[in-house]
Structures are given as structure tokens and as C-alpha cells.
Chains A and B, each alone.
Chain A
Amino acid sequence: MPRLTLGDWVDHGVDWLQSHLSWLFDAISAVVTGLYDAIDAVLSAPEPLLFAGILAVVAWWLRGLAAGLLAFAGFALIDSVALWDEAMSTLSLVLVATLVTLVVAVPLGVWASRSKTVSAVVRPVLDFMQTMPAMVYLIPGIIFFGVGVVPGIIATIVFALPPGVRMTELGIRQVDGELVEAAEAFGTTPRNTLLRVQLPLALPTIMAGINQVIMLGLSMVVIAGMVGGGGLGGAVYRAIGNVDIGLGFEAGVSIVVLAMYLDRITGALGRQVSPLGRRALAKARSLTRRPQLWNHRPQPVVAVVGVAVLALVAGGMGVLGGAPAAGTKGADDVGHGKKISLGYIPWDEGIASTFLWKEVLERRGYRVDVQQYEAGALYTGMAGGQIDVQTDAWLPVTHATYWKKYQNKLEDLGSWYGPTSLELSVPSYMKDVDSLDDLKGKGGQFKNRVVGIEPSAGMMGILKDKVLKEYGLEGEYKVIDGSTPGMLAELKRAYAKKEPVVVTLWSPHWAYSTYDLKKLKDPKGTWGKGDGVHTLARKGFSAEHPKVGAWLKDFTLSEEQLTGLEAKIQQTGKGKEQQAVRAWLQENPGLVDKMAPL
């Protein structure tokens, strides 16, 4: 078989689109961002509990008292695990995606229901959209739309569109042909046949489709979180990055609360807006004579007034409580409110250094925006110019592929920590394994596996191409491609049961302080010299912000400083990184002036 260079064509296609249609992508991006910002501003303006109250009244109105109370309890739970802002930005993301999806899906479904050709063309496209793994188009999405919420929303739309189209088409096709014929026989225009007969009768199915759109959208928020979508997805991504089961569960439960609320509410709304649904409801109600307290539903007027009052209170409190935050004044203010965006991979030294710089730069009068990304998204975003700086580039080995691809769009501001090292590690209870040489012949013990991380990571290439070969371990051991969280979870599991396990690991890493591990010696030096942890900026950043550029260039931390800061962050808890940094800076007076001399 000749090798079909399909991938190259796609590569060229993406390049071509990027260079010729960037105006279109910018426009889409602007519209989607505008929508998202507007909705997010509205949703996150009120006090959490007041807004939970509004949502509860809506649930009470549409489904009854029990639903209202449960809704309030659910949202109160989200607030009490300090994920309210994340939940609201996730809700905004899902709402925008749903809105756009419906605007596209319903007309497309109607069209497909009326034309066999359209239906035949659309179907494989929908299959493609639904089954293509999201990461495959997320990275091009970043190239087109930049990191942030937009590619997350676009990915959600791509994933959630198919059921919207399919259910609309199905709903309309399911309408009894005799009814459509009856409408035509009485001289109804095609347009009115659609509006007065087909759409009303298809509405229950279409609403089921909308419901699916929302649920699929929510299931995509984690993926969106990996490309800077933030919200609960970001929290989940951060949690799995650190094998933080507690935070993961909290964020996951928050997603579930949102999902259940949206599912029940759209379901009830579907019954309310469709004439057939209202009929069925009225029928059911006439069967159950006695009204019960937990089924009680207020009159629409009461509900509207309730929502309005809560909204007004919320609005009033927003105006009164929204006193402007005091900014830094005086000689320290060299930033004059200029914006700098920092991106980071959820690795401990990345989190620590990023929040350290956020605090330092804010004290110098800059407005600093911090966002977490998946590594590929981070580099793509920097190359695209949406992210200014990141402090966690492992060069020249670990992040070699990204560096090679984007080096002429990036500035290397030098290494602030190092050297790091790459290694295979085993738990220290593996008494007779101290060096890579010792692995030979013990394959059976380790189930012939080396638990690896993301196959794109530089160290995985070295491991497969060099390390195993040099030590004659090829054939005996198989490297398991996976993810860093997966590797850490496997380590945790095996460690707890004292099972033999060998993992790919690097220093510095918190795993070394959490577990008693042994780095396997590398007498042949196959891993090469260790990486430095570099600070990278987008091209042109130092020219725009010469002061910050100089500060970053001179930045270094000792191992003692770094582990101390990391430990502080671990102790203070998730979501309070900046507080931890402040506390740590108090213990290290003078460091701010050393890092950012005036």
C-alpha cells in the first residue's frame, strides 16, 4: 500500500485556513467571547446564595417545591465547596455553546428533514463530529481561535451539535404524514405547515435533543478546561493533574449538580412549551386529585415576581457592594495597570512559580491574569500571542517537541531552576533494584511494564529509543503510554499494596516527598544531562515590557526555596495559592525586591 499523506494535507489545509481566513476566525472568536463575557457577567454578578435562590424559584415553578428545595441545596453545596465562580463560568460556557448549537442545529435539522440529499450529506458529517476525539480538533481550534474559552466552546458545539440536528430531523420526520397532508389539503403554505403543525408536534423530540445538547456540553467542560476554558473543567483538570481526589470529587459533584439541574429544568420546560406536553401534564394532573405539598407549583405570576425580587436584591447588592478594589499606588507602581497573562501547566513547580510571579507583578502595579493549560495548548497559545509568559518550560529535553515547533515565535528568558533530572523510579521497598541494570531479568516481577506518561513528552522518546536499548531491556519491558495523572494513580495504587512497579518520573516532583521512592541509577548516562526549568515569553514580550523581561531573566530559585513554597501551597489548600504565596513571602522578606528591583 502506498502511504497516503492524509495528515500532510490536513496540515497544509490548517495552515492555509490560518493564513487566509483569520479574519473569519477572529470574527467568530469575538462574537463567542462577547456572548460568553456577557452571560458570565450576568451570572456571576449576584451573591451566590441569592442566585441559587433565583434558580430554585425557577425549579419550583417548573417542577414543584421539592425540586426547588433540592436545587437550592445543590447550588448551596457548590458555593460551600468554594467552586461558585467556576460553576458560573462553566454554566456560561454551556449556555453559550447551547445557544450557538441551537441556532445552527434546529434549522439544519429542519432542512435535513425536508431534503433527502441534505440528510444524506449531513449524516456522515455528524458522525465525524460526534466520534472524532476532541483533542484532535482542539489543538487546531487553538491555532484558529487562540486559547481560552473560545476553542472550548467550539469543541463543545462540535460535540453537542449532532444530537440537536438528529433529534430535530427525527422529530419532524416522525410527525404523522396524514397530518402534514391534512394541512396541505386545506391549503396551508409549506412555511405554516412547518410552524403550525410540524414544529409544534416535533417539539417534545426537539426538546429531548436540546436536553442532550446541554448534557453533552457539560460532559465536554473538562476537555475545555484543558485549553484554558477555566471553570469546573479547569478545576477537574487541575485535580487530576495532581491526583487530588478530594478536589476532583468536589468539582465533579458540582458538574453533576449543574447537569441535573439543567436536565430537569429543560425537561420540564419542554413539557411546558410544547402543546402536547401541556396536554399530557393536564391529563396527569386530572388523574391525581389531591395536590401534595411537594408537588406544589406557584402561579407563573408568583414565580416571575419571586425571580424579579431576588434579581433586584441581587442587583442592588451588586451596586452597593461593588466598591472598587484599592489598587497599588505610589512608587511601587511601575505597571500602571498593564495586563500580563501567565499560563501554566498544573505541575507543582509551575503553579508555585506562576503564583509567585502573579503576586510580585501585582505588587508592582500590573494586572495579572493566570490560567492553567494542557502543555500543547499552552505552547500553541503562546505562539498565537494570547499568553505572555510561562515559567515551567522544561528544556532542552522534556518540552523539546513543542520548542522545536514554536521556537521562532517564543523568547527564552533563561532557566530559573536546575538541573532537573529524568529517571525511572521504583518504590524503596524494591530492595534489590537500585540501578537500571538491575531491571534486567526481573520483567516478570514488574509485569513487563514501565508505566509511562504522555507519549508526546520528550522523556518518553528517550526512554523508548535510548534507555531501554542501552540497558538491553527492549523486548522484556513494554512502555505503557498514558498520562501523568494515570502514572501517578498507578504508582499510588501499587505503593499502597506494596506491589512492584517502575514508573517514569522526574525531579523535582512532589511524589518524592509523598512516597519513599528510589531513583534508578543510570551508570551509562543515557538520560543525558538534566533539563533546566525555563521561563518563556511570547516573541516581542521583552520589547514591550522591558522591565518585566529583565526581572524574569534574572529569576532563580534554590531547591530549598522551591520546595518550601510548594509545601506552603500544599498546606494552604487548593484555590488559595496566592494566599500561600503571600504567607511564604512574609517568611522570606526582601525577596520581592530581589526578584523585581525598582
Chain B
Amino acid sequence: MSRLQADHLFKVFGRRPDEAVGKLNGGIGRDELRADGTTAAVIDASFTVEPGQIFVVMGLSGSGKSTLLRMLNGLLEPTAGRVLFDGQDLTALSPRELRAVRANKISMVFQHFALFPHRSVLENAAYGLEVQGVSRSERERRAAEALELCGLAGWEKSWPDELSGGMQQRVGLARALATDADLLLMDESFSALDPLIRRDMQDQLLELQKRLKKTIVFITHDLNEAMRLGDSIAVMRDGRIVQLGTAEDILVRPANDYVASFIQDVDRTRVLTAEAVMTAPLRPGAGDCGCESVAPGTPVAEVCAVSARVPHPVAVKDDRGTLVGVVPQSRLIGFIGDEQRPPTACDRPGPQTEKEVAHA
């Protein structure tokens, strides 16, 4: 069973929102609604998130991604549609029940950290547990554990304003992890950090995720970040999800021009992997040699490096050492140059080796 399921979610701000949902279902556009003074922030969003998955919602500002996120833990009530969390319909809960779910099962990490300036680092990390009603000694122990997990051991007694941005966000992460919630909502959590720290935090999140296997919904406007983190990515535009799929799906098969224009700036060699460029081995016995090989998940950029060192197509082997495909150099070059067609034959056939060219 999926952990989290969004089922035809709508969020409309303004007057007579229900009427607006009817109109949107009837095919009326967002701009026409805006003329009436109503704003459709999220339109008909549906997706599922599996346990242990990082689901990334990617979109520019104003695309409705933050609104969507806030409907997932009930901070905003959907105008229409349902949110199923472990099969439980959050939209049908009373405010009290909803608060209990938020306190115990869903936690959140914010863009600007949202640390309480009047509480120490430890008290901040323990906040969720305090709401749960956990005893003081217990919650201080667990908060300290969470801080250690995020690499902040020894900073418990400090105050948020004494920490750097990256460290503050680690406190935010520790606060979210301390409650042992299954679902982590991360709202542009790394956007306010400078690029080096951001990369660090992404690595650390992936590292933590390997151990903790949380279900994470991550919001970002940075496609590179989405590609790095996301097991599954939803691209939003003007309130609608325009494409839903893996990083590879989006890079290789963009659903429309909008997504295509988006992915132009993405460094594809760091996102796509050997799996995406390999072909079936042409010659028998390929990979039998002792030459360097790569795994299916190796980024193309690294495959290029390996390819420069081995004299033949690079072998791709799974973790049991079985050959699953090969990557010839021409395919790598074609991929980097975004050339889909196969190479054509030369119009002056004959043996042309590098030696001959050099002689000429």
C-alpha cells in the first residue's frame, strides 16, 4: 500500500471556491478564474508516494507547490479531493485528530528554518516531542540523539542565532526527525543555503535516508536538486502537475515544451546513468576482460571518464557481476551532443585509421 496518496486535490482561494472547482473541471482556465478574483493555487493534483521514497515536487514560485505541500499535512484544507495517509483520509478528520496526526506521524522542515529564537538548540529539537507530551528527560534524550544524527552533537546548549544557516537547518531537520514521524515534508528546505552547503545537506539527507528509510515529500524550484534527490518527481506549472515520473523519464521524455525548456540547463551527465545510455552487447564475450566496468546506476559523467581509459565499449555490470549492457563511446558522445540518430557511413569508404590521417 502506498504511504501517501493525493487524490484529485484542488485548492482555490477567494470567493465561492466550490463553484470554481466545478468550472475548472469543466475546462475553464486559471486565468479566466483570476479575472473573477479567485485564485486556483492547485488544480487536480493526483499522485502516490511509496514508503521509503523521496517524492520531489518541482516548480517555479507561484506554481502551487507549497500550497500542495500544506494540504498534505492539513495546514491548508483542500477545496476538493482527498489526502490519504496510510489509508486514512486526512480531509475527513476533526481539527483535534488532525493535530494528533501532525504531532505523531508527519513532520515538516521549513525554507527559512523556522527555529524558535527563544529556545535553545536542544529545546528546538525537542519541540515536537514536547507537543506530544513526552516527559522532559525522555524528550531531551531523543532530541540529543536526533541532533547527533544530524551532526550537531555538542551544540545542544547553543542558541539558534549562534549557528550558521546550514547548522540551523540541521536543527530544523533534527526537530523533524526527533518525533519519529513516518512522513517528512520538506518545503524548499535547502533553497536558502549557499550552493556548497546545499550540496552538503543534499548528501547528508541521502545518507540519512539510506539509514532511516523515511517517506519524504520534498519541494524545490531547483531541477538539479530534484534530480539528485527524487526517486519520483512531479513537475508543476500554474497549479497543475504537468509531468510525473523519474528523473530519467523527465530528462529523456519531457512531457511538453515547458518541461523541455526546463531541463535545458540540467547537467544530464550527472543525472542520467549508464542504464540510460547502454545498449545490448554486440560482440560476444564483452565484459569478460579484466577492464574497468561500471554499475547501472553510475552517472554518465563517470562513464565518460571510464570510457576514456578502456579501449572498448564500457561494460555495465549489476551488483552480482552479471553483464547487463555496454556503452560504446559513440553513444556517450551522441548523448552529450543530444543526437538521437545513429551515425551515418562515410562517403569515402576505405580503411581510415588515425595513423593514415596523420600521414596525410
Contacts and interface: CB of A to CB of B under 8 A. Distances in A.
B117 interface: yes
A222 B190 CA distance: 59
B131 A201 contact: no
B179 interface: yes
A187 B129 CA distance: 10
B334 to A, nearest CB: 47
Given A181-B75, A279-B159, A186 B114 contact: no
B131 A187 contact: yes
Nearest to A275: B118
Interface in A182-211: 182-189, 192, 197, 200-201
B116 A187 contact: no
A174 to B, nearest CB: 13
A186 B110 contact: no
Contact of A186 (B107, B117, B159): B107
B104 A279 contact: no
Contact of B100 (A185, A187, A192, A197): A187
Contacts of A187: 99-104, 128, 131-132
A179 B172 CA distance: 11
Interface residues of B, number: 28
A593 interface: no
B198 interface: no
A560 interface: no
Contacts of B103: 186-187
B85 interface: no
Contacts of B101: 187
Interface residues of A, number: 20
A186 B102 contact: yes
A200 B118 contact: yes
A181 B114 CA distance: 8
Nearest to B172: A182
Nearest to A200: B118
B117 A188 contact: no
A115 to B, nearest CB: 17
A176 B106 CA distance: 22
A179 B131 contact: no
A276 B102 contact: no
A10 B179 CA distance: 61
Given A178-B110, A181-B75, A186 B128 contact: yes
Interface in B88-105: 99-104
Given A201-B117, A201-B118, A279-B118, A189 B99 contact: yes
A172 to B, nearest CB: 14
Given A183-B127, A186-B102, A187-B128, 6 more contacts: A176-B114, A178-B114, A179-B114, A185-B75, A186-B179, A192-B131
29 contacts: A176-B114, A179-B114, A179-B116, A181-B75, A181-B114, A182-B108, A182-B110, A182-B116, A184-B102, A185-B73, A185-B75, A186-B102, A186-B103, A186-B107, A186-B108, A186-B127, A186-B128, A187-B103, A187-B104, A187-B131, A187-B132, A192-B131, A197-B116, A201-B117, A201-B118, A275-B118, A276-B117, A279-B159, A279-B161
Interface of A: 176, 178-179, 181-189, 192, 197, 200-201, 274-276, 279
Interface of B: 73, 75, 99-104, 106-108, 110-112, 114, 116-119, 127-128, 131-132, 159, 161, 175, 179, 185
